[in-house]
Each structure stands twice: as C-alpha cells, then as structure tokens.
C-alpha cells in the first residue's frame, strides 16, 4: 500500500506588504507570497503542485479541504498521462469535491495572466501570439533560487518595466516549493507545469485565465511537465489554464522576435547563472540562442549577450550538446545563412562531436543492459554456461 502525503488546510496570512498562502505538506511548510496582490488560500494550488511529485514517490496525496469538482475530475486524466509518459503507477488522491459558484469570480472575468520569465517562449506569447495580457507573472524560486536575491531583483525590475510598456500589471510571486523534500525528489522537467498552475490558482481572485507558453512545437513535442495535453487539466475553481505557442518551434519564435526592441534589451535564456549577468553567454543554452540570432544576422543588436565577434570561440568551448532534441536548433541556424564562416564551422564541429558522443552513450547503455540481463539470467539459472561438445 502506498504511503500518504497530507496537505493541511491552506492558510492565508497578510502582513504589510505581503500576502502569503501556506500549508503543511507532509512534515514541511510550503509557502507562496506576493507583495502585489492578495493570494487566494486555494487547496487546488497545492494539489496541482504535488500530484505528480506524490505519484513519483508512490504516495497518495490527501487534502482535507474539498476541491472543485471539475478540477477533481481531471486528476485521473493527469495520472493516466503520467503513467503513459513516465511509467508512474497511478495513485488516486483522496479529494472531497464541491461545485464552485462562479459568481464570486466575476470581478476577474476576462482578465488573463501570462507566466513570464523573459525567455523566448514567454516573449513570443506576449508579443507575437496576437493575445492581450493584463498581468505578467514572474515566480522567484522556480528557475532562480530564493537565495539568488540580487539576480531576482534585476529580473523583477525588467519584468516591471516590460509590463508597464505593454500596459500590463507585473505580479511577482516568491515560493519555497522547489526546496520541499517530496517536490525536490521529483524531476522539475516533469513537475513544472503543475507548479505554474499552482500559482494561477493562488491568483484566481484576480485572473480567470492563466497562460503557459509552450516549450516545444506540436511537431517536435515529447513528454514534458508543461504540455498541450497536460496544462488544461489543471483548470478549475474559476481558473482556466491554457497552453499557447506550440504551433511554432523556438527557432521560428526567435525569427519572429528578432526586431523587437524589448526582446533585444531583456531576453533572458540562461539558467546556469555562471556570472552576475542574467545571460552567461557561454552555457549550451545561451550558445544555441546566440547561434540562431547570429544566423538571423541580428546577434550584434542583442546586448544581453557577449559580442558576436567571439561567438566561434564560445561555440568551440562547449564540450557537447547533451539534448539531441535541440540539434535541429543548430541546424536551423546553419540553414539561415547568416553565420560567419568561422562560426558555421564551429557549429558543424559541435554538432559532429555531440552526435558521436550520443552514439557512444547509446552503445555503452546497450552493452550495460545486455551484461545486466546476462547476470540476471545466470543468477536465475537460465543460462547454460557448461562447455559445449565439439
């Protein structure tokens, strides 16, 4: 029988200027807070955040407060997806349900919030999707640790500037969710969609629609924590969650954004935080975006990166591309024709050594699997190791 991960009743605490929603999950408190708006004490937020981490650890999530019936009805669908994608054995949560009267949420009717990190995906949704957003939401504690106060302050300043220029309100939320033991034990690649939806439920007194930007296109999709099949299932209790932007890939998004002044001044793609600058310009993620911008002939206009004159050397410094799903980003950049001969040569060399390393890794894994199977068979007495007659 699975163990239990219990969510205590959610408490809202207001201390000037912050509003905090918090609950004990298991033995540790999880909190979200904002200085910009009052957060709703939403149990749906904590179920969204912890459903996938709980099944990843074979725990039954239990919430003592009732949740919206529409929201609860989607939880088996979420679990079916996680079983098909990642092999998690479904463990249905214990949830009492109730039907929400929509009238209390009429004040937020029509208001749409965008999860905004300043990256390619969220900038594309903001500026090129044809939609209008009333709020831009940045979460400190997701891709940027709570301890990184100085860098978060710089990002917050950028988000507030961008919001004011597009006529939106900036909402900054801080949370310790990623430091919580059961959440930390699961892969962020698989849990981040539910975490973003959790923030939406906490904001549901102010917004009726939360938009999460697609990380991958429909053509290049693969199982991921935020996906077009998964994100809408977190809707309920007056909030609709939408997945936007999967009709194009990131290379095409950069092509659409290449002339946008806001993107040129504020694009943030780096997650390694090697230097004080918001983009280190040298990690593989920084490199892949610079290569596309150089292929488009606009890298020199993006002062958020180091100058393009040394791009080839920076590409040479990357040992390998570890994710084969981004090979096509580099190939797209080569097809654009804007790379200098030295940069193009460096990109081809990086692709070649990365593909060689990938095939070596696959061969090593195959040999390891065969050897492990042979050892298991020998232990089970199914492998005849006696000498064969001539």
Place of tokens 């990086």: 350
The upper half-sphere exposure of residue 93, i.e. CA atoms within 13 Å in the direction of its Cβ, equals 36
303 vs 380: which has the higher pLDDT: 303
pLDDT of 137: 98
pLDDT of 108: 57
Question: Which residues are CB-neighbours of 275 under 8 A, at least 6 positions away?
Answer: none
Q: Quick: pLDDT tens for 112-138.
A: 999 999 999 999 999 999 999 999 999
Q: Quick: pLDDT tens for 267-282.
A: 999 988 777 889 999 9
Do the beta carbons of residue 32 and residue 22 sit within 8 Å? Answer: yes
Peptide bond before residue 322 is cis, with ω within 30 degrees of 0: no
Q: Quick: pLDDT tens for 307-358.
A: 999 999 999 999 999 999 899 999 999 999 999 999 999 999 999 999 999 9
Sort residue 4 into left (φ over 0), alpha (ψ -120 to 50) or beta: beta
Report DSSP state, residue 220. Answer: T
pLDDT of 1: 58
Do the beta carbons of residue 70 and residue 236 sit within 8 Å? Answer: yes
With a pLDDT cut of 90, the percent of the chain lying above it is 84
Q: How far apart are CA 45 and CA 21, in angstroms?
A: 10
Do the beta carbons of residue 148 and residue 210 sit within 8 Å? Answer: no
Place of tokens 């949420």: 105
- What are the residue boundaries of the structural domains of the chain, listed by start? 3-99+107-244, 269-355
- Stretch (H or E) spanning 59: strand 59-68
Q: How far apart are CA 143 and CA 167, in angstroms?
A: 25
Q: How far apart are CA 32 and CA 140, in angstroms?
A: 10
pLDDT of 388: 46
Report the chain's mean pLDDT, rounded to a whole number.
92
Q: How far apart are CA 48 and CA 51, in angstroms?
A: 6
Q: Structure tokens of 342?
A: 């030295």
Do the beta carbons of residue 149 and residue 246 sit within 8 Å? Answer: no
Q: How far apart are CA 211 and CA 199, in angstroms?
A: 11
Tell me the mean pLDDT in the region 5-14. Answer: 95
């Amino acid at each position: 029988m699975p163990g239990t991960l219990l969510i205590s009743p959610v408490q809202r605490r207001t201390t000037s200027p912050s509003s905090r929603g918090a609950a004990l999950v298991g033995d540790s408190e999880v909190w979200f807070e904002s200085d910009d708006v009052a957060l709703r004490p939403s149990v749906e937020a904590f179920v969204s955040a912890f459903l996938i981490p709980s099944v990843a650890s074979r725990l039954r999530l239990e919430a003592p407060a009732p949740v919206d019936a529409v929201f609860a009805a989607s939880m088996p669908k979420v679990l079916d997806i996680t079983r098909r994608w990642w092999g998690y054995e479904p463990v249905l949560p214990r949830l009492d349900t109730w039907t929400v009267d929509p009238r209390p949420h009429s004040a937020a009717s029509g208001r749409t919030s965008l999860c905004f990190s300043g990256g390619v995906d969220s900038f594309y949704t903001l500026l090129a999707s044809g939609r209008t957003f009333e709020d831009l939401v940045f979460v400190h504690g997701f891709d940027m640790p709570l301890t990184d106060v100085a860098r978060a302050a710089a990002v917050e300043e950028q988000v507030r500037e961008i919001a004011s220029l597009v006529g939106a309100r900036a909402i900054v939320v801080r949370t310790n969710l990623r430091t919580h033991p059961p959440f930390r034990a699961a892969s962020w690649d698989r849990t981040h969609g539910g975490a973003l939806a959790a923030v939406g439920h906490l904001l549901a007194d102010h917004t009726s629609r939360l938009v999460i930007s697609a990380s991958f296109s429909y053509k290049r999709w693969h199982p991921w924590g935020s996906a077009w099949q998964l994100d809408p299932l977190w809707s309920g209790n007056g909030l609709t969650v939408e997945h936007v932007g999967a009709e194009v890939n990131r290379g095409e998004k950069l092509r659409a954004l290449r002339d946008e002044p806001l993107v040129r001044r504020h694009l943030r793609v780096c997650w390694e935080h090697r230097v004080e600058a918001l983009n280190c310009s040298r990690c593989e993620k920084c490199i892949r975006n610079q290569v596309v911008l150089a292929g488009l002939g606009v890298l020199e206009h993006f002062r958020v990166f180091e100058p393009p004159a040394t791009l080839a050397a920076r590409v040479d410094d990357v040992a390998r591309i570890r994710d084969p799903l981004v090979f096509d980003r580099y190939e797209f950049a080569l097809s654009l024709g804007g790379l200098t001969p030295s940069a193009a040569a460096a990109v081809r060399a990086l692709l070649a050594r990365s593909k060689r390393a990938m095939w070596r890794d696959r061969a090593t894994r195959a040999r390891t699997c065969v050897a492990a199977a042979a050892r298991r068979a020998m232990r089970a007495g199914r492998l005849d190791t006696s000498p064969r007659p001539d």
